[in-house]
Amino acid sequence: MSVLIGVYGAAGCGRCIMPIVRTQYPASSYVFVDDMPGLNDVNGHEVIGWHSFLTYPVQNKCISIAVASPAIRKNLADKCDLAEIQLVEVRATSVVQWDNVSIGRGACLSPFVTLTSNISIGQCFHANLYSYVEHDCKVGDFVTLAPGAKLNGNVSVGDFSFVGSGAVIHQGISIGESAIVGMGSVVIDDVPSGVTVAGNPARIISKG
């Protein structure tokens, strides 16, 4: 039975996810879904709009949302739900996952991601290259870990938060909802909801 998998987002994130999709789902067909005008082909794959994806002449369709922004990812997930389009998990073969890890639907797990043990992760999680989540962490919905982001043990991350490349979150820290942790930051204190922190040690640089 033919299956069409759409990678929603033809920018950098989507172009990195598409090769994983092809490896993980080898019997499927693939397109990029993107609402930006003027794109027709990216890396040998057709780029189509949302309406064209919905009317594509294949009965079985699903989507991987490959957009770094947590808020945009939420909007696209809602659109897929309304159209009854299933979200698929995309997982590189080099991902390490150990005991008692639960992950919600629609995750994108890039190469060399590590998820150790006793971890709870919400829906549409993005874990980029070489990022890791250590034991007993609780990660909300629509959270993004940029390349090399590190969540050490017992870290809590609220919905819609973004942890920048190379950031290190100390054990036991709480990151509030919709917070942004800047690239290379070292977080040793709890981060309130809706703020941006950066530096070593990380300090609040903007609110809301």
pLDDT score of 188: 98
Domains assigned to the chain? 3-88 (3.40.50.20), 91-203 (2.160.10.10)
Q: How far apart are CA 86 and CA 107, in angstroms?
A: 12
CB 121 within 8 A of CB 102: yes
Peptide bond into 57 cis (omega under 30): no
Per-residue tens of pLDDT for the chain, all 208 residues: 579 999 999 999 999 999 999 999 998 899 999 988 778 899 999 999 999 999 999 989 999 999 999 999 999 999 999 999 999 999 999 999 999 999 999 999 999 999 999 999 999 999 999 999 999 999 999 999 999 999 999 999 999 999 999 999 999 999 999 999 999 999 999 999 999 999 999 999 998 7
Buried (b) or exposed (e) across 36-65, using 16+ Cβ within 10 A? eeeeeebeebebbebeebeebeeeebbbbb
Residue 170 bears catalytic tag: no
Exactly one of 45, 51, 126, 135 is catalytic; name it. 135
pLDDT score of 12: 94
pLDDT score of 193: 98
pLDDT score of 36: 81
pLDDT score of 77: 98
pLDDT score of 39: 80
Contacts of 175 (CB under 8 A, 6+ apart): 155, 156, 157, 158, 161, 163, 169, 181, 187, 190, 191
Q: How far apart are CA 97 and CA 117, in angstroms?
A: 8
- Partners of residue 138 on adjacent β-strands: 120, 156
